Amino acid sequence: VTGASFVVFNGALKTSSGFLAKSSIVEDGLMVQITRETMESLRQALRDKKDFKITCGKTDAGDVKEYVDICWVENEEKTNQG
């Protein structure tokens, strides 16, 4: 589990790169590189306020995977106060 001050989603990852998605720590935030198709799915999930999971790693890595989970909370008023 990684806490971050900000998250950047970059939708320019090519499917020919051999990666499902890539995540990396940038300063005190997280950058997630995803394909254009995954970006469209993420945008729709955000519009619909649905949880979304991004699987990171090489396409042929087998069982070793990282995940970026975007989760909605029930009560938004108690988070991000101030």
Residue 9 has pLDDT above 60, yes or no: yes
Query: What is the pTM for the complete model shown?
Result: 0.79
pLDDT at residue 53, rounded to an integer: 96
Tokens describing residue 18: 């051999």
Residue 10 has pLDDT above 90, yes or no: yes
The residue among 82 and 39 whose pLDDT is bigger is: 39
Mean pLDDT of the chain: 87
Give residue limits of the domains in the chain: 6-70
pLDDT at residue 62, rounded to an integer: 74
Which position has the token pair 């469209």? 40
> Which 3-state string (H, E, C) describes 43-61?
HHHHHCCCCEEEEEEECCC
Mean pLDDT, residues 32-45 taken together: 96
CATH class name, domain 6-70: alpha beta
